[in-house]
Amino acid sequence: MAIQRTRALVLRRQDFGDTSLIIVAFSREFGKLHGLIKGIKADYRRYGSRLEPLGLNDLVFYEKRQTSLQLISQCDLVESFPVLRERLAALTTALYWAELVDAVTSLHDPNHELFQLLVDALGSLGPIEDVQRLSRLFEVKVLATSGFFPRLEDCVGCRAVLPTTVVPTRREARLSARQGGLLCGRCGAKEPLAPLITRGTIATIRQMGRESWPALLRLQFTAITREELATVLQEFLGFHIDKRFRSLEVSMEPVGPVRR
């Protein structure tokens, strides 16, 4: 049984008995962890954190390979992201992001890029109030860092290269969640329920997938792209992540795809 130390974000938590907590945390070095911390509610002064959801903490735990539940012996709060207590839209957005990361990750599977993305995104909720734009950026980056990013270079049906020198607002292709990428006009006719998408939005998704989070914060959407992103990402995430996001059910404004 090895003693390990890691920095981690608390994705969710639940009571365990009268004084203890079980948490699901996403860590930098060890990926997603299930952890038990005994007696924390009886004496918070013994610890440097209350392990609130979405808090960034330094954790010390006893790694036991024969079980998925690790015993946490120490927790120290690094960042609480106070804007989450000041703005409801920021809180519901952050809770949605935590659910999304929880849904696309497996236990003990490190993803340093996704961990840093979530830390950076939470830090952006203070200075930026347009949570819908931030959520579209976050959703695409999650797809890019977790292996679900759509194929956008050519048609996934016939492999024909789609033209790039056309009117950017013309809807001439469809984005198929089932097939994992773009369909040309001919192949798209066989899947008419796949949402249509313009070349401008395709180019925006490509840019979002390859650039860093700080660079993407300067990216603005046209009205058409904003509308299409909401539609195609709802379709794509709904197909690949068969989950109802509870945080969106209490949100006062839409920040992500709602499963119906």
Report pLDDT digits (tens) over 59-87: 999 988 778 899 999 999 999 999 999 99
Q: Which residues of the chain have pLDDT under 50?
A: 166, 252, 258-260
- Residue 6 has a CB neighbour count (10 Å cut-off) of 19
The architecture in CATH of the region 82-260 reads Up-down Bundle (1.20)
CA distance 95 to 89: 10
Topology of domain 1-80 in CATH is OB fold (Dihydrolipoamide Acetyltransferase, E2P) (2.40.50)
pLDDT of residue 258: 44
Enumerate the domain spans of the chain.
Answer: 1-80, 82-260
pLDDT of residue 260: 37
pLDDT of residue 255: 66
Rg (CA), the chain: 20
Closest CA to 142 of 113, 120, 122, 119: 113
